Every structure is written in structure tokens, then in C-alpha cells.
Amino acid sequence: MRKLLGCAFVVLSFLSCSALFGQTVDTSILGSVMDPQGSVIPNATVIVRAEATGQEKSVTTTGDGQYRVQYLVPGRYTVTVNAPGFAPTVRSGIQLALSQQIHLDIPMSLSGTQQSVDVSATQALLQSENATLGATVDTNRTVNLPLNGRKFNDLAVLTPGVRVSNPDNHSSSTAGSTIASNSGRADWGAVQVDGIVMTNTRSAYVNSYPSVDAIEEFRVQTGNFSAEYGFSAGTNINVQLKSGTNAFHGSAFEFIRNDAVDARNYFRVAPLKNNVLKQNQFGATLGGPIYRNKTFFFVSYEGLRSIAEVPSLANVLTPAQRNGDFSAYSGTLKNPYTGGTYANKQIPLNAVAQNIINTYMPLPNGAFAGGQNYSGVSIGNQSNNQYIGRVDHKFNDKNSIVVHYIYGMRDFPNTDTNPNFRYTGTYPMHNAALQYIHVFSPALVNEARAGVNLEHVKQLSVRTGTGFTIESLGINGFLVGGPNGRPLTSNEEGFPLLTISGFLGMGDSRAASNLDYSRTFMFADNVTLTKGKHTLLFGADIRKVAGNATTNNTPFGQQSFTGDMTGFAPADFMLGVPRTSVTPEGVPITAARQWRTAEYFQDNYRMNDKLTLNLGIRYEIYAPPVDTNNVSRTLDFSQNPPVLTPAPGQRLNNIWAITHKDIAPRVGFAYSATPTMVIRGGYGITYYGGQFDNINILQLNPPTAGSLTITNPTLGPVAIIQTPVPASLYPNPPFFNVVTMPADRRRPDAMIQTWNATIEQQFGRAVLATSYVGTKGTDLDTSIQYFNSPPPGPGTIQTRRPYPTFARIRALDFTGASNYNALQEHLEWRVNARSNITVSYVWSHMFDNQGNSTNAGGCTCQDVRNPHEWASGTNDQRHNFVLAYVYRLPDFSQNKLAGYGVNGWTLNGLIGLASGSPVNVTQSTDSQNVDNPWQRPSLVQGVSPYIANKSAINGWYNRNAFALSGYAFGTTPRNYLIGTGVKTVNLSVMKNFAMPYAESHNLQVRFEAFNALNTPQFSNPNSSFGAAAFGQISSTKINNRELQLAVKYLF
């Protein structure tokens, strides 16, 4: 409780400078008021009333009869128009969606005629006011469509061009999903809740998912945004939380999962046990009035309890082997000190190795398939709690505020298959916001908003901070950077990885040293001025972005026992002679700080009743980030040879040079060709300043971090487990792996140009949109991971490197380019108030010249001196089809008793079919002698790279189509092959039972099936030529069929 009160105090302190959209400027009703002859009526009073809350907004038509009512929340509205000499005119039942601009022209009758009332107004389906690409997902689909894990962003795929990472990944411990559109990169996207960013500063993943029962609806924009949207170059998602109304509404629910009713994974054949999953998601919502027509509240709670176990088989050392007796081993045991053999296969024991194996490796517990003798489980449990609160208050006709606060807490401890190695996982998250709207006049409105998004991920070994040291194991001299380096601090300590080839490992993984404290502080101010046919929007958006995070690969060091010393890896270990040793890298923490500012101007110009122009411009500045922990370093190429700068402990000022060129024009038009057809088009530029993962890797340089690899000679070994880095094997000078900025520190922000042409045609309650969409990316960020690789050829690699005083150099690069063209079809059919069908299809092709962003794989180039290889991009997906439906079956009986059983049924489905994406073929052998795993084999002419009857069993790729490249770059193009596609069918059926004591109370029972047809969704085949598994498939992208039962109480 004390922690919660402390968190609440911190958040309330930030509210004076925190952010949110409770109501958005682009959620509006606009149009013209006309007399019976079609002439405009100036100075008419237009009153827009929210039917759920009774709140009203009033404007006066301009001299040319135009009106616009902005900053509305989604919902149903009634519009009333009054003008002298004319009868009052009412339009009711107008359904307004998030970021929708409804064009509603209102003809008036002369005074003395009957008042005009239209109670059956339908939802506007055509988008006739702007050229923005996107779609809105309403609450009917959000709460009813089957979602594995109940994450709203899985429904972003209802928008053409959108791809969500980790589909149906219900067990993600730290959220982790990213959203990309139009084949853009995943970290280009932005997700906002009521206007406040809810993505991590490190890699743009969604750091918390508001309960779908707390979401009113969300809007997905994929291109040609209005000028107020920025700081992202891809998908922009704005989630609208529910608000209270004049009536009390709420729900209570529980969703239950159990592996007992799930299908077995395709690759977990007997005797392997199926994965264990016992999961409960439960919660409640409540909303209503505090003061009717004035103040409203909404609160929600959702919890998750999950037990996830993955059984697996392994080999462990037997009691005899732990005592040096290897007589059961069929091979010969070599004595690495003499070159002879051990008599009777009895080896002398290393006391440290024997103590470690007896303490940290479990004993055999059975005889299993493949000769394995140990059965264990890895455990990844979760206990999550999320609380949401929102208050809407209207002081008077001129002043209103909206505030919200979201607090989430994840607890996700993890235990490895070796139960001696565990890490703790905690993940608190806060999101708070304030929006204040002041109406100076019906034509002039100011919106100020502020907010904060915080998260603090901690994944730490259970040994960290307890006084445990590597020395307590008997291992000495394991220092960061080698014998002359620094010792690990108490907060960096963990168990080093001790790998025994073919046997169960020991040690804490890199996941046991993950820290990420991410903060975004936002302030924005928008001024909206309506003047004649122009609606002008101008304002500023200011953000302070901060992130304290670790980045490492081998934080605690590693010793590898491979069998090269004695011929059998367990014997190597018991003798205490590793083949290689990697010194600890440490767990340095970068403290990145950055200011991001933007100013923008937008003019939405209604030239006439048919044509609207959208003219905007935005100017962004990404200030150079600063590492306040002073652990970031880069190479100074002006020196010969290059040296790391600055000196240890000093600050790397201006990690990169600032740019003042981020000017982003936005232009578009919407033309109502007929009452049922709209033609839209637009062009716009967006910029992307990168995530902090692009900065954190600069901390990996010595002496703060950095590791060395020591190779032990197979005859006369010098390194032993106690002293894995002896001075005689330590290179002098040491050859460190380093990370660097470009030599000129030039770092232009990525620029994305987007254009589209769209035709929307309405057919009754359905709208079909056909779009051509194009994008072009320049100055895209990546990293050339093996920048210091030599050209192919014979000889020692180190002496042939361009910079021989360093080993591998990972060079950040900002010269990437991409191109995307697509035909996008989108059908939205509102069957009735409770049923709708959405269909989308995309046919596209995307090219790029490098690969993914800086810390997500980097450039996949084999020739680091020619990194620009134009090819189909990794995110290319030629065909993507999505069908979603919520269909309320008609009532079959008027009889009350019979109707209780046969009425109230709803069928829901979410179906996705997508073709595969490109796969890059590499080779497992360094035949080029370049120290670059991205080297590719050569093609064998006339041989198909695919197996004729390709399948998961027979294989996918033909190894006879490739050959090792030798001392030359391979001829296989980048991203040469195509991987597996996706065919998912998620279905649900639900029944509402009306409660006899109140018609507005319902008990809902629903049954959901994910991957309902139990179709294996195969992962991409192994693409490393030369590997035994080349072309083979060994896993699935998502699980086989999973079932879920849910019960809801609604009122």
C-alpha cells in the first residue's frame, strides 16, 4: 500500500506537466445549414448534444453557412439547429467514431411548418474530409472478436497494410508486441492512449495493454497524417478509453485457459509432454455519473494469473562421470596434457568442476527418448494486475478537463530447465494524463494537454545483489575486459555460463541482467480557429524522453567445454579445461536523455460542399541525446589507428550532430464525386529520430564493458576452470569488439514519404475503399555489424582487417533506403447495430537496401564495403487477407421460455491468410575467411532452390542448389528465398442470457478457439547452408489449437 501511495503521489506531481487526448480535434461534426432553396443560412445556432452524458456544445454558422464542432468523444449525438424564420431542425442518433469527421448538411424548413425530426440517422460511412489512411475499430469488435491474450493491438490487422509482431503471443512477459504498416519497420510506430504515448523509449514496443473492456474504440492511421501527428514514421494508433455516462454501466468477467483441452504442438510428439498452461484473466469495469450532465467516472481492473511450463529432455552427467569414471563412454579419452589416452577412461578430477557439477547440475531422473536421461521443465509464470481510472468534468460551457491514470504491475519469475537457475521479473508501469479545453468563442478553441509514461523493467538473477560472487565458485580472474579489467560490481554479479556440448547447461542467461527504466514526459498545446471555409490548427508538441537501460550479450562471462580437449565434452568439464573462455561483459547502464520538439500548422479548407483540401506542415527537432551515466564511447577515426573517445568517465557530448532539416509538408484532398462516392488522395513526409536501442549499444565499449574471447590450445592447455583467462593466453594488445558512430557523426533522421489515391464507394450499409499506397524511405538507420571484416582471401583474419587494432567493429549507419507499393482493398459492412463484417486484402511489394534497424539485426550485407544491396525487404509480404466478423444471429422465437435458449447468440471470427516473407540464405562455414556470418553461398545454376514436395517433414529448401563460396563473395542474392506464410482461423460463439430481474443485465457465456482448424503455422526453415538442418522446419510461429472459456456479467 505504501508503494501504491508513493506511485500515486509521483504521478499526481507530474500531472501539472503530463498528456492525453480525451477528445480530439479531428473527432468532429461539420457541414452546412441551408434553406429550402439550398441557399446557406448564416448565424444559425447549431447545438451538438452527447446522448449518453447530456453534455452540449454550441456553435454559430459562418457567413457562408458553415459550422464545425470539434473535440468530441466517440458516441451517439443529437444535432439541433435554430435560426430566425426557420423551424427548429433535429438530427438524432448520429454515431461518431474516434478521429472521424462527419459531414452533416442540414436543410431547414420555413417557420410554421412541422418541426423536422430524424430519429433514424445512420452512421456516416464515407470519409469525405481528409486523405488519411486508416480505420477505426469500435467497441463491438474490440470486446467480441476472439483475442488470444486479450491484447487490443491484435485487431490492428483489420486495417489494410498492418502487421503485428508476435501474433497470438499470450505469454509475453514484458508485453513486447510492435505494430508496423505498409512494410515499414516495427519501431516506427506509435501507440497512444487518449493521446499519451504508451510505447517504450528503447524499442517502441507496447509496454502495457489497456483491458479491452476499458476501451471505447481505437483508430489506426497508416499514412498521410494531419500535421499534429509526428515523432513516428509508421503506424499511429490512438486508443480511446471508455468514459462514464449519466447511467451506471459495468461488467465483471473471467477468461479461462487450460492446456488439457489444447491440441498438442506439431513438434512435441510423444513421449514429449505437451506444454502446460493454466491461465485466468479476470476483472471488472464500472462507469457512471458523479454529477449528472457534468462529471463522470470510469474505472476498471484486470488481473492475469498464468502458469506456463515447457517440458524438455536433456542429458546430465551420471554419478560415475561426476567421479571421473567414463568407462561407459564408447570413444577414446585423450589426455590433452600429454597427447596420450587415459587408462580405463578414468580421469583426474578438478575439484572446482566437481563441486560445481554436484551443486548446480541435477542428477539423472530416468531413461528417455534419444538416450537422454533427464526430464525437466522451464517455468515462466505470470501475475499481472492493471488498474485504470478516468474522470471527465465540464466546469461550464467554456472549460472542461479529462484526466486518466493507468497503473500496471507484472510479476514474471522464470526458472530454467535446470532448476538451479532462476531470475526474478518485475515490471511496474504508469501512464497519467490531463487534457484541458478552453473555448474562447465557438470559432476559437485551445486545448492543452500533458502526460507521462513510465515503466521500470527488472529481470535479474536471484543471485544478483545477494553477495554472491563468481570467485565464490572458485573461478578467479574473470574480470570485465580480461585480467587488466575491472571487477563486476555486486549489482552485476551472476553465475557465468558453463556450457557442455550436448548436455544441460549451467549459468544465468543474459535475460537475467535486463534493466529498463523508460520515461516519456509530454506537453502539447493546440489552437483551433474556424474562419469562413478554413479550419486552422496550429500548436507545439514537446517531449522529454529518458531511458536507463542495459545492453549486453555475456554479462557474467562464459566457459565452453566442447570435447575438443579429451574427445568428450563432459570429460573436458570434469578435467576443468575449457576450449574457449569469454570474459564478463558487465552490466553497464546507459542513461540516455533527449528533447524532442515540434511545431505544426494545418489548414482544412472546405472549398465547397464537394471538395476539401488538407494543407499542413510540421517542423521537428530531435536534439542530440546525452548519456548522463558517461558510459557511451565511439571511435575517433581522425586518429591513426582509431581510438575510443572520450576518456573513461567523461561524457560523450553530441553523440551525433543535430539536424535542422526535418520539415514535413502534408497535403491531401477529399472530393465527394457523388453522394455515395468519395475520391481521396494525399502526400506527406514524416521523420523518425530513432529509439534508444540505437544509443544503448555504445555502452558496449571498454573499459566500462567489453569482453575478450580466449582460446585454449588442445595440446598443453593453459586455461582451467579456476583461471579461465591466464596471462599467457591474453592477447597483448587485446583486440576488443567495439561499437561506433560514423566517422563524421552524421546522423540524419529517417525520412518517409507516403502517397495514396483512394476511391470509396458506398453500397447501402457497406463501403468499399480501393487504394494505391506508396512509400519511400531514405536515411534509414541500421548497423554494419562486421564493419571490420577483411575482404575474402587466405591468411590470418586479424592482420587483414581494415583496422587491425580492433576485432569486430559494429558501425552505426544511416544510409538505408526502402520503397513500397501496394493495392489495398478494404470493405466495411455495418450489417446492423450489433453486427459488422470487415474484409481487407493487400497486394504489395517492398524493397530495401540493407535490412532492419540498428539493434534489431542490422545490415545483412556480406560485403561490408558495399552494404547497399537492393532486394525484397525482410518485411515484404506480397499477399495479406483478413476477414473479421461479429454477427448477431436473429432471434428465433418470440416465446419467452424458448427464446431464453435459442435467442441471443452471436458468432465471431478473425481469419488471416498471408504469404511468406523473404528469407536470407547464409552459410555456416566461414569459407570466405572474413569473420562475417552474413556471408552467402553461391548458386548452382539450373537447380531449383525449393524441394518439389516441400513440407515440414521433407524439408523446404534444396541444399543442392547452393555451394560454398570459397575466397569470394557468394552469388546468392540477399533475401533470395521465401519463407512460410500464415493461415489462422480464430472463432468464437457467445450467448447472452437476459437476467429476469433487470432487462439491462445480461450474463454472457462465450467459447473461443484460437487456430481453430488446428493448422500448424510453421516457422521459417533453417537457412544456414552447410548446417545439418538446412531447409528443415523445427518449430511453429504460433501454437496449435487452443481453447478458451469466458463468462461475463454486463449491466
List, for residues 147-165, the tens digit of each pLDDT value.
Answer: 998 999 889 999 999 987 6
Asked whether residue 638 is assigned to any structural domain, the reply reads: no
Mean pLDDT for 685-703 is: 86
> Do 923 and 970 meet the contact criterion of CB atoms below 8 Å apart?
yes
Task: Match 427464446 to its residue by C-alpha cell.
Answer: 899
Asked whether residue 123 carries a pLDDT value surpassing 90, the answer given is no
pLDDT tens-place string over residues 499-558: 999 999 999 987 778 888 999 999 999 999 999 899 999 999 999 999 888 888 888 999
Give the angle subtended at the CA of 692 by the CAs of 690 and 697, to the nearest 5°.
115
Asked whether residue 370 carries a pLDDT value surpassing 50, the answer given is yes
User: If we measure between CA atoms, which residue out of 853, 847, 856, 854 comes closest to residue 876?
Assistant: 847
11-25, 745-759, 946-960, range with greatest mean pLDDT: 745-759
pLDDT tens-place string over residues 568-610: 999 999 999 999 999 998 888 888 899 999 999 999 999 998 9
Asked whether residue 146 is assigned to any structural domain, the reply reads: no
Rama region for 651: left / alpha / beta (φ>0; ψ in -120 to 50; rest): beta
CA 164, CA 183: separation in Å to the nearest integer? 11
Asked whether residue 467 is assigned to any structural domain, the reply reads: no
DSSP annotation of 23 reads S
Structure-model confidence comparison of residues 728 and 937, the more confident one: 937
pLDDT of residue 176: 55
Asked whether residue 89 is assigned to any structural domain, the reply reads: yes
User: If we measure between CA atoms, which residue out of 676, 672, 837 comes closest to residue 762?
Assistant: 676
pLDDT of residue 165: 61
Asked whether residue 91 is assigned to any structural domain, the reply reads: yes
List 863's β-bridge partners, or say none.
none
User: If we measure between CA atoms, which residue out of 398, 473, 460 comes closest to residue 427?
Assistant: 460
> CA torsion sign, 237 to 243 to 247 to 248?
positive
pLDDT tens-place string over residues 203-253: 777 888 899 999 999 999 999 989 999 998 888 899 999 999 999 999 999
In Å, how far are 480, 516, 628, 959 from 488, measured between CA atoms?
A: 7, 19, 21, 46
The structure's pTM equals 0.89
Bridge pairing between strands 106-107 and 28-34: parallel
Asked whether residue 736 is assigned to any structural domain, the reply reads: no
Asked whether residue 292 carries a pLDDT value surpassing 50, the answer given is yes
CA 620, CA 194: separation in Å to the nearest integer? 22
pLDDT tens-place string over residues 608-624: 989 999 999 999 999 99
> CA torsion sign, 433 to 132 to 73 to 213?
negative
Q: Is 648 helix (H, G, I), strand (E, B) or coil?
A: coil
Asked whether residue 17 carries a pLDDT value surpassing 90, the answer given is no
CA 556, CA 584: separation in Å to the nearest integer? 5
In Å, how far are 114, 517, 923, 997, 1004 from 893, measured between CA atoms?
A: 40, 58, 66, 21, 19
Q: How many CB atoms lie within 10 A of CB 557?
A: 26
Count: domains in the chain: 1
Q: How many CB atoms lie within 10 A of CB 108?
A: 21
Asked whether residue 816 carries a pLDDT value surpassing 70, the answer given is yes
CA 161, CA 846: separation in Å to the nearest integer? 12
CA 55, CA 73: separation in Å to the nearest integer? 11
CA 860, CA 869: separation in Å to the nearest integer? 9
pLDDT of residue 504: 94
pLDDT of residue 710: 87
Calculate the average pLDDT of the chain.
89
In Å, how far are 27, 424, 495, 602, 918 from 381, measured between CA atoms?
A: 41, 11, 22, 49, 34
Mean pLDDT for 313-339 is: 95
Mean pLDDT for 971-976 is: 95
Asked whether residue 993 is assigned to any structural domain, the reply reads: no
pLDDT of residue 118: 54
CATH number, domain at 32?
2.60.40.1120
> Do 246 and 219 meet the contact criterion of CB atoms below 8 Å apart?
no
Q: Please report, to the nearest 10 degrees, the dihedral formed by the alpha carbons of residues 637, 642, 647, 649 taken in order.
A: 80
Q: Is 500 helix (H, G, I), strand (E, B) or coil?
A: strand
In Å, how far are 760, 780, 888, 988, 998 from 991, measured between CA atoms?
A: 35, 50, 10, 10, 17
Asked whether residue 441 is assigned to any structural domain, the reply reads: no
What percent of the chain clears pLDDT 70, i.e. is strictly above it?
Answer: 94
Give, for 241, the enclosing helix (H) or strand (E).
strand 236-241
DSSP annotation of 157 reads G
Asked whether residue 116 carries a pLDDT value surpassing 60, the answer given is no
DSSP annotation of 346 reads B
User: If we measure between CA atoms, which residue out of 40, 35, 31 comes closest to residue 107?
Assistant: 35
**Position 351 confidence tier, pLDDT thresholds 50, 70, 90:** very high
Q: Three-class SS string for 653-708?
A: CCCCCCCCCCEEEEEEEEEEEECCEEEEEEEEEEEECCCCHHHHHHHHCCCCCCCC
Q: Is 36 helix (H, G, I), strand (E, B) or coil?
A: coil
In Å, how far are 161, 685, 899 from 849, measured between CA atoms?
A: 21, 20, 62
What percent of the chain clears pLDDT 90, i.e. is strictly above it?
Answer: 59
Give, for 300, the enclosing helix (H) or strand (E).
strand 295-314
* DSSP class per residue in 836-891: EEEEEEEEEEEEESSBS-TTTT-B--S-TTS----EE-TT--SEEEEEEEEEEPPP
pLDDT tens-place string over residues 473-503: 999 988 887 777 889 888 889 999 999 999 9
**Position 40 confidence tier, pLDDT thresholds 50, 70, 90:** confident
Give, for 906, the enclosing helix (H) or strand (E).
strand 905-914
Burial letters 821-846, b for 16+ CB under 10 A, else e: bbebebbbbbeeeebbbbbbbbebeb
> Do 812 and 771 meet the contact criterion of CB atoms below 8 Å apart?
no
- Domain range enclosing 67: 28-118
**Position 18 confidence tier, pLDDT thresholds 50, 70, 90:** very low
Give, for 1010, the enclosing helix (H) or strand (E).
strand 1002-1010
Asked whether residue 108 carries a pLDDT value surpassing 70, the answer given is yes
pLDDT of residue 611: 95
Asked whether residue 16 carries a pLDDT value surpassing 70, the answer given is no
pLDDT tens-place string over residues 643-652: 999 988 888 8
Q: Please report, to the nearest 10 degrees, the dihedral formed by the alpha carbons of residues 1027, 1032, 1037, 1038 taken in order.
A: -130
Task: Match 517433414 to its residue by C-alpha cell.
Answer: 953
**Position 111 confidence tier, pLDDT thresholds 50, 70, 90:** confident
